[in-house]
Amino acid sequence: MMPDRRIRVLVAKPGLDGHDRGAKIVARALRDAGMEVIYTGLRQTPEQIAVAALQEDVDAIGISILSGAHNTIVPRICQLLHAEGMQDVLVIVGGIIPDEDIPKLKEAGVSAVFQPGASTEKIVEFIRSHVRQPA
Amino acid sequence: MQKALKPGERNPGKGLPGRPEKFTTLSGVPVETLYTEADLKGFAYSRDLGDPGEFPFTRGIHSTMYQGKLWTMRQFSGFGSPGDTNRRLHYLLAQGQTGLSIAFDLPTLMGYDADHSLAEGEVGKCGVAVSSLADMETLLAGLPLEQVTTSMTINSPAAIVWAMYLVAAEKNGADWKKLSGTTQNDILKEYIAQKEYIFPPAPSMRLVVDSIVFSARETPRWNPISISGYHIREAGSTAVQELAFTLRDGIEYVEWVRRAGLAVDDFAPRLSFFFNSHNDLFEEVAKFRAARKIWARVMRERFGARDPRSWRCRFHTQTAGCSLTAQQPYNNMVRTTIQALAGVLGGSQSLHTNSLDEAWALPTEQTATLALRTQQVIAHESGVAGRVDPLAGSYFVEKLTLETERACYKYFEKIDALGGMVAAIEEGFPQREIHEAAYAYQKDVERRGKIIVGVNAFASEEERPVDILVIDENVAKHQRQKLMELKKTRDNAGVQSTLETLGGAASTDRNLMPYILECVRSYATLGEMCEVLRRVFGIYEEPAFR
């Protein structure tokens, strides 16, 4: 990473879920780690998230979802990102995601899923080591 | 960060997790090595404790507590279709639970029908889908509503869902004057913690006040509100914050209802509360005892309540979901047991115990049963239920109760100075406090200042997965189908008329309950009613985080 360009991350809360304890902790941890973080706030549609990602020109998107709606919502977000030409934006997911749903999410374009118990340090490390390098 | 230790592995250079240098409660309150009578200088039994059943109720709201009657075993349940949940409720009653508690799905909680675009992927996933009176009737079919009480965890559209319950009960011949149960209906904690708000604070408070006023008159055995700290704690607050924000929310509701014209003793006896029970047993017991003592004083001294029933802090308790882990889920049974025990030693009127698969999915039949059995073992085998406030007199517990009480009053002062709870919420005060506590806790865990067994110590190489409940995607289809049929068979002109009348009334200061009931009787849907109210009240967006 160029030392003078900070990693830009969108932390997004899609769907109706209002549980934001984790999303806010991750947003803060990423900021503390020197990244630029945009938090979408609650109840964003996949369309709103894709637009925000594009407008903010982010390197990574962290999707936080605990409502059980991830199998519908996350692939939709990934679809929209691809449609906007953002396939090299790193997509990671956190929340309540059963093991058996992870393969499908990865097929849809998710790079990593952070289940309960994950540490913010690991999330920071993952983003740092997996974001696209500038051309 | 140090990676989690494997069984038997030593942390190079540092040894196995050693004893901490300083001891604190889970929430960070310092704890001494030894407590003696010196810690309780000036302690006066009648002022600081009172007998159980006597002001200030520190020792319990009833004189015989569980010797007279066990707490209600009330397992929070709800998933899929109303039929699915109805079957689970019948099942749990057959397994010995003594109260009903209903969890609704996110579309329902947020005032959307199952066929709304925003409901996609969400129908039946974290609770039962209820879009209409017809769904409510299916949900309650065959349940002995006059023998067991029903609690409904519903907030923004609580008045509407409660109206559906009332009409369903009425159609079954129940007498509203005899109907007993609880609606959570605590909108303030939504802004603070659970975030399932629809409308802005003022119209939302209006709906709460309307339902409390209506209940005082029409359903005298109903608890129209369950002023909650559970969610505040789940969002990461400390025990004191949970207590203080909950009780200060209570103070706010009392002020608003009084402004609407009711005398405090007309409604206060039916206010109820809902607390979390987390891992630190003594901290939780102190919190519960302090809650009763503080509320009794607040009601008698701040509000001048004269009816002793107005002074009693009656509460339901749920064990801490946020403490349960995805790793080694069977450990969660142990956590839930400790937390349930704290709830019982703390004098809860009603208790829900979480299932071991909490961090993965909604409870299966097996894990919900095990959770219920946890309560039953405590009730019938541990002896604890035959003792009334047995921890009283412990130097430590009494000292901690006093400290908790003191710390709570400090928060009251802060919030009063901000202009009350609504003002404090608009300023972001409780939200910030909670986030700071949550962040500090997370950092402490990552530093291994706090050990979580199976997560940052004694972790497994390989996890054995547990069978989890999966919600059928056909539930959404099924619910949408039912809505289509409903809209074909009901009197749509009648529905339109009741909705218009509701909209008109919403712009006045008339009590909305009768209008909502009329809409419900005509089979207007939840989403249709909420849409009317959204148009009149507007919608709320919380201030940006940072």
Note the pLDDT of residue B10: 44
Beta-bridge partners for A83: none
Provide the pLDDT confidence category of residue B1 given band limits of 50, 70 and 90: very low
> How confident is the model at residue B21, as a pLDDT?
82
Q: How far is A40 from chain B (nearest CA, A)?
A: 9
Summary count for chain B: helices (H), strands (E): 21, 9
Chain B residue closest in CA terms to A39: B545
Instruction: Quickly tell me which residue has 């039946």 as its tokens.
Output: B124
Give the closest-approach CA distance of B111 to chain A in angstroms. Answer: 11
| Minimal CA separation from A122 to chain B, in Å | 9
Domain ranges of chain A: 8-129
Output the pLDDT for position B542: 84
Q: pLDDT-based confidence at B12, cuts 50/70/90? A: very low
Chain A residue closest to B327 (CA)?
A: A117
Please report how many Cα atoms fall inside a 13 Å half-sphere around the Cα of residue B189, on the Cβ side.
33
CATH number of A8-129: 3.40.50.280
Question: Is the pLDDT reported for residue B42 higher than 90?
Answer: yes
Q: Residue B126 and residue A45: Cβ atoms within 8 Å?
A: no
Residue at token pair 């559209």:
B157
- Spatial contact of B31 and B43, defined as CB atoms under 8 Å apart: no
How far, in Å, CA of B452 to CA of B456, rounded? 6
Say yes or no to pLDDT of B11 above 50. no
- Candidate from B325, B362, B465 with C-beta closest to A117: B325
Q: What is the pLDDT of residue B17?
A: 63
pLDDT band at B153 (very low <50, low <70, confident <90, very high): very high
pLDDT over 90 (residue B260): yes
Show me where the domains of chain B are located. 37-71+149-446
Give the list of residues 6+ apart from residue B380 with CB closer than 8 angstroms, or none.
Answer: none
The yes/no answer on whether domain B37-71+149-446 falls in CATH 3.40.50.300 is no
Residues of chain B in contact with residue A19, where contact means CB-CB under 8 angstroms, are 194-195
Closest CA to B103 of B362, B282, B300, B390: B362
Q: A–B: how many Cβ contacts below 8 A?
A: 101
